[in-house]
Amino acid sequence: MSAGKRIRHLQRYRTIATAFARNGLGYVSQEMGITDKLLFLRREDRKELHNKSVGERLRLLLEELGTTFVKLGQIASTRPDLLPADILQELEKLQDHVPPFSYQEASAIIHHELGAPVEQLFRSFPELPIASASIGQVYHAELLDGTPVAVKVQRPNIHNAVETDLEILADLARMAEHRLDWARNYRLGDIIEELGKALRGEMDYTAEARNMERFADQAKKLKHIHVPDVHWDYSTKRVLTMSYIEGIKLTQHTQLDAAGLDRKKLAERFASTIFHQVLVEGLFHGDPHPGNVLALKNGDLALLDFGMVGRLSPSMKKHFASLVIALRNQSTKGVIRAISHMGVIPEDADQDLLFGDVDLLREKYYKVPLNQISLGESVNDLFAIAFRHRIRMPAEMTLLGKCLLTMEGVVSSLDPAFSVFDVAEPFGKRLLLERLSPRQMVKNWLEDLPDYLDLISDVPLSLKQMSSLLRQGKLRIEVASPQVEDLMKKMDRISNRLSFSIVLLSLSIVMVGLIIGSALSDSNTMLWRIPVIEIGFVVALVLFIWLIFAIFRSGRF
């Protein structure tokens, strides 16, 4: 690390530690070891914070620390498997209290990224943005041919600031895992790395542009849905130019009514779109809040801002379908099985307690009509169980939960009597039929076939290696189980029963052979005047009786 970089890190450490102290969380920074890196740190005690909850203090801390921490807090608010509900509620209130940067800075970035001055690229480009956030701000401009466009420009020097903060957070996570049990149990370093990856993705406008094109392809299959077009000649990693769409936010009910739009129909279209994205396409809008969804004059919907996008792999769609089916069938074991497939259950998790919590969740919704169940509440309940038992759910599943929660909130505000499950049911049936269709089964089998062939091809080599170890006497097998004695007794019983069956079968064959042989030959069975076969039969019978007696005597039959 260069000297300049080390100095920047040290200055930022001091800023972070001071912010912790100022917001009543100084004990956290001390436990994590932040103050160990600093000298002469001034302690503060703000009396107005004494009545505030930990969640409120954390929100104020993140807002004070700026862009990186606000964005990470907003992303973390989509992870109910990582944080308790009271803190999530506060993180959802995080706002980007960042003033817009100047027109001169924006025009300089556009000139650097697009290779020409703003005046040569646009017929009109206003000095004031129509929206400003922590990562960038948006302008309503016109191309040279008069086409109205929205131009998103990234903040100057934000990349370096974010990378510095992410490096410091990774360092703090390592210190916390070394000092604190909870940080170690929740693998805080992995969480920071995951959240940092999501933040870096939002800062790459070319990735957002590609997402926009994917959703535009989706929109072609759906009626009444529009997505802005990307103008690639005017777009880079730091500048994104798209077609400008004017509409009404779904929360502006007065304007929707004044425009003569049917709110119930808007709710149905919005819910159908989200379920189609999730259950059919496996690619869904990660943040469909009202500001990112506009109602057009003809009743169509337009989706905006694709910086946060969720993806469901075929296997994750299957597990999600299993979860839905298990919840519908009131199956506790099915719910736990689906959760275990989707998430990582710690080895030391209390299985009985987990089973009991899921059983309580099942009883809560037992025989409750679907139109009376809140999808958001059931998702919250499920992730509360995951948090309680330290089950790490994939980011795509928690983002899906956040997406469904947001969608339900929007449609409920549009039409309080609207039932999300009425819209979801046809998609669920389609997903179930797709999963059970012979064509899909054959397709899944063909996709797994290379893995099976690789496994079979590895068998000879594995057997050869095992045979070599056996010849050298190096093969060692250890079984560690508190029930190992019971296991051995059961195996002993199985072997005894198997021996009994073999002996009984052998005796039966001998008896049948004697009878058939005597009948066909019509001759005696004497050898040197000794009834050999009869004697053999008696000996076999005696051995059989002795074996049976020995097995019963051992008490392991």
Question: How many CB atoms within 10 Å of residue 474?
Answer: 8
Give the end-to-end CA distance of the chain in Å, rounded to a whole number: 71
* Helix/strand/coil for 283: strand
Tokens, residue 417: 């009597």
What is the rounded CA–CA span in Å between residue 512 and residue 402? Answer: 73
What is the rounded CA–CA span in Å between residue 320 and residue 431? Answer: 10
Asked if residues 280 and 430 have their Cβ atoms less than 8 Å apart, the reply is yes
Find the helix or strand (DSSP H, E) in which 309 lies: strand 309-311
Distances (CA, A) of 373 to 82, 142, 147, 327, 378: 24, 47, 46, 12, 8
What is the rounded CA–CA span in Å between residue 539 and residue 532? Answer: 10
What is the rounded CA–CA span in Å between residue 407 and residue 26? Answer: 38
Instruction: Tell me, yes or no, if 287 is annotated catalytic.
Output: yes
Residues 6+ apart with CB under 8 A from 373: 365, 421
Residues 6+ apart with CB under 8 A from 88: 77, 80
What is the rounded CA–CA span in Å between residue 485 and residue 490? Answer: 9
Residues 6+ apart with CB under 8 A from 42: 18, 21
Tokens, residue 393: 């759910």
Q: Crossing angle, helix 3-22 and helix 54-65, to 10 degrees?
A: 150
Catalytic residue from among 36, 204, 217, 287: 287
Distances (CA, A) of 387 to 241, 364, 398, 535: 40, 19, 12, 74
CA 102, 107, 109, 110 torsion-angle sign: positive
Distances (CA, A) of 401 to 284, 376, 394: 11, 8, 11
Strands 122-124, 136-143: parallel, antiparallel or unpaired by DSSP? Answer: antiparallel
CA 16, 21, 24, 25 torsion-angle sign: positive
Comparing C-alpha atoms, which of 362, 325, 365 is closest to residue 341?
325
Comparing C-alpha atoms, which of 303, 152, 88 is closest to residue 214?
303
Q: Which residues are catalytic?
A: 287
